[in-house]
A and B are shown apart, each in its own frame.
Chain A
């Protein structure tokens, strides 16, 4: 074992360069194959994915011994690991993580059901041989990540509300981690995710929806584990070898009125890390790049740290201030023009003069605000009253509401709509209409015309 344990060899276990696996049957006859990944578990263990009942599997069951060769594409070092099988896990966090990574790859290539993880085979590493020494790798393609994370956390610590947090996180990822393409998504109670901000794309994609389990983002959220792919095109070629069943599945929910997902057209590397707080998935931080192998274990560590910090801060900042909201109302600017706002109760989608704006909880919130404004002329509201309103079917946790308001406000701003939402204090905001509003409830049965 190396002085630093297997952790020092993680670069060779990124799942980028193919690894080599040999086993022997009970009579000593060898079998050798390429495998897509050796999964780092801890300083003494690795895991291999068991996907098929094949000769390798039969040999493992017969002898419990295996040997793998791994290649570190960053340092060009090669290692040979001698493995003793410990157990096969078919449930638990490690299994879920490997399964999710596999599912994320499969989802991107329409190979659900083909890449099926039957189990995670855990091995104790009983010997390590260094076959070729690492060359000194140039590291000037990225900053020292620990220092970069510290700078991001400094920025996050100065934020006063979720709106600021979302921006600080995305800005930090670009500025300090030097990752140019990033999207922050927050989860609905039903598992859907909505983009609330992005960096590095021609359009922000605020409001774009990802369905549960869809692509690396949906799987990261559903399984609450980071999902990282470093070689999308190679995986696709791997998929192509599996036959004509391969079809490319997009990341984007194909909703007739959805906001287009702002992702890169030709990403090679993608990483999605869950934003966790108290065991719940609040959202997902997603980054991608055109280069292969852009994100490694250390990027995953860095992004998980940031996502965890965001989760904790979002929960803290989501708690209300005790001060009640000012409900006296303020005179709005004189209305100019008239906009018809239609609401479809079926999915709480809201349209402005026939143009899709938003749906889900954020749509329900907007509709509630507009109705109250129409009934009483109120323009000032508090997050507390929204939280207490059961008709909104809000998820139980405070930070989710803040995320919905941020999403709503950004969608309105981006559309240049005559409606705006303006923060007036912590937990308080104002609805501003620069035009006349006519509300039209379309009812439960109505569906937006495609």
Chain B
């Protein structure tokens, strides 16, 4: 699963905003630390309300989808932390973005569209860290939504 999460899949997240409404955002990349901590890299400007909500104690849901075959997994955690990326994160973020943009181009996106989809400003990234306590399959089909037991 760690390989899947770090394999250039599309990562999105949902939280409960400080006003109680749901909020959705997208992550640029994902790293998994010691097989237990998931670290999502987010554009701060685009996701400011989500970061605010996480700091205020929102639970978090994150779904990871392969652009190529739609295999998907959703992770959930009761809380998360907001931090800054480490210098060594950048090459890995870039690597995952290249994989995703290549897959989007394989699907027929133009180069400009694919690059725009994965574009990020390294100076504007935040990290959201959480330890998932529940995992669900999300691949479209009969088993979608089923919880994976550890």
A residues with CB within 8 A of B: 17-18, 20-24, 28-34, 52, 54-55, 59, 63, 65-69, 71, 73, 76, 78, 80, 82, 129, 131-132, 135, 231, 233-234, 237-238, 240-243, 268, 291-292
Contact = CB atoms under 8 A, between A and B. Distances in A.
> Which secondary structure characterizes the binding site on chain B?
mixed
Contacts of B108: 231, 233-234, 268, 291-292
Contacts of B72: 33-34
B69 A241 contact: yes
Contact of B22 (A67, A71, A238, A291): A67
B46 A131 contact: yes
A34 B144 contact: no
Interface residues of B, number: 44
Given A131-B46, A242-B140, A20 B69 contact: no
23 contacts: A20-B25, A24-B14, A24-B20, A24-B21, A28-B20, A29-B76, A30-B59, A30-B60, A30-B76, A32-B62, A32-B63, A52-B144, A54-B145, A59-B22, A65-B21, A67-B23, A132-B46, A135-B116, A237-B70, A240-B69, A241-B69, A242-B141, A292-B108
B39 interface: no
A370 B10 CA distance: 65
B12 A233 contact: no
B132 to A, nearest CB: 13
Given A32-B62, A241-B140, A24 B16 contact: yes
Interface of B: 10, 12-16, 20-26, 45-46, 49, 58-63, 65, 68-72, 74, 76, 107-109, 112-113, 116-117, 138-142, 144-145
**B22, B58, B59 — most chain A CB neighbours (10 Å):** B22
Given A22-B15, A24-B20, 13 more contacts: A22-B61, A23-B22, A24-B16, A30-B58, A32-B13, A55-B145, A67-B22, A68-B24, A237-B70, A238-B70, A241-B140, A242-B140, A292-B107
A91 B68 CA distance: 34
Contacts of B15: 22, 30
Contacts of A234: 107-108
B144 A54 contact: yes
A66 B58 CA distance: 16
A33 B113 contact: no
A33 B58 contact: no
B12 A34 contact: yes
A69 B25 contact: yes
B16 A32 contact: no
B109 A30 contact: no
